[in-house]
Amino acid sequence: MATEGPAVRRVQVAEHPRLLKLKEMFNSKFGSVPKFYVRAPGRVNIIGEHIDYCGYSVLPMAVEQDMLIAVEPVKTHVLQLANTNPLYLDFSTSANNIQIDKTKPLWHNYFLCGFKGIQEHFGLSDVTGMNCLVDGNIPPSSGLSSSSALVCCAGLVTLTVLGMNLSKVELAEICAKSEHYIGTEGGGMDQSISFLAEEGTAKLIEFSPLRATDVKLPSGAVFVIANSCVEMNKAATSHFNIRVMECRLAAKLLAKHKCLPWEEVLRLEEVQAKLGVSLEEMLLITEDALHSEPYSPEEICRCLGISLQELKTQILSPSTQDVLSFKLYQRAKHVYSEAARVLQFKKEIWGSRITAYWSRLGRLHSIDSTC
């Protein structure tokens, strides 16, 4: 599985209404026909919220909604992007001078993340141009990972145009890293499941090294994903990155409390690994080391024995420089207990009580759009 590449299929466009519509729109936009189509799905996370960027395993599955891109490589070095949704405006740039504007997360920047990630992986500065028409039906900013589906789809488009090969695992790792170009510091779950998902099964996604294991769902199980219609654009706001930073700061304070080399610690999982203790013990250590009131930057500095200047330049990211209060106790408690729930879920579902578990669970999964 680790070396398997993305699936390639021959299809009769005429037999697929969505492809046919895309082909016709492509033709009226660019005056030519697409050479190939690429698809990447969105996802729903069954269990394991906000813990992938702390190093812990998660349990998502792909949804039917996806990004579909019709592509035509061209001889010029121009990258032309269009979208079936008129809200997303046409964009064009030179393929050898990719600029991603973090301050304005316009849709084409997500495409550029995937494009740049593959370009850089192969050390290429001069990539052939292409015409692309994007058609997505994942509700945006609603927690089904439309952004990563677009980044992954663009990465795969670029790989195909270059005629290169990479495994799904390599593609997931590259796209997880390259989505950071938009400014969000996600952990890698969304890109991993977009590439590694398979029909009829959820996946336990583990990191370092990245791997995915089937967690077969009971046949006939139906998932209802309810959309609250509250959108949260992760790159246009700092909520997501603040949460990532709070987890990082909590990891550093816990490491310092336990006399570990806290300077090199970035994730809560590293503290557990270095101490060699259980998640339950990490919860007790959190109770002991952190308080439930939010921490000011000054208090964090006192705990770590560093200056405000050092905190700002060596630890805080651009989007967290001016944050005045950090929830460390709540983040660490959530991460260690949620990581334990993922393991328990895996154990239960792999055990003999699958049906009982599902009927007990019997809940709607609502889309987490408030990050």
Q: Interface with ligand ADP by CB under 6 A: which residues?
A: 83, 85, 88, 107, 110, 134, 136, 138, 140-148, 150, 233-235
- 151 or 249: whose CB is closer to ligand ADP? 151
Kindly state the tokens that stand for 197. Answer: 């998902």
Within 13 Å, how many C-alpha atoms sit on residue 197's CB side? 26
- 286 or 319: whose CB is closer to ligand ADP? 319
From the list Mg ion, ligand ADP, none, partner contacted by residue 203 (C-beta under 5 to 8 A by kind): none
> Distance (Å, rounded) from C-alpha 98 to C-alpha 367?
33
Q: Which residue number has the CB closest to Mg ion?
A: 147
Amino acid residing at 150 = L
Q: Are 94 and 116 in contact (CB under 8 A)?
A: no
Question: 252: burial class by Cβ within 10 Å (0-12, 13-18, 19+)?
Answer: buried
Q: In what order do the strands lie in the sheet with 59-74?
A: 36-47, 59-74, 129-136, 78-83, 91-94
From the list Mg ion, ligand ADP, none, partner contacted by residue 136 (C-beta under 5 to 8 A by kind): ligand ADP
Active site (catalytic) residues: 190
- 113 or 268: whose CB is closer to ligand ADP? 113
The angle formed by the CA atoms of residues 263, 267 and 273, to the nearest 5 degrees, is 95
> Distance (Å, rounded) from C-alpha 124 to C-alpha 140?
31
From the list ligand ADP, Mg ion, none, partner contacted by residue 241 (C-beta under 5 to 8 A by kind): none
Q: Are 204 and 57 in contact (CB under 8 A)?
A: yes
- 105 or 297: whose CB is closer to ligand ADP? 105
Q: Which residue number has the CB closest to ligand ADP?
A: 136
Closest approach of ligand ADP to the CB of residue 342, in Å: 20
> Distance (Å, rounded) from C-alpha 196 to C-alpha 297?
39
From the list ligand ADP, Mg ion, none, partner contacted by residue 233 (C-beta under 5 to 8 A by kind): ligand ADP
- Report the interface residues with Mg ion, using CB under 5 A: 147, 234
Closest approach of Mg ion to the CB of residue 145, in Å: 5
From the list Mg ion, ligand ADP, none, partner contacted by residue 144 (C-beta under 5 to 8 A by kind): ligand ADP
Closest approach of Mg ion to the CB of residue 360, in Å: 31
- 180 or 347: whose CB is closer to Mg ion? 180
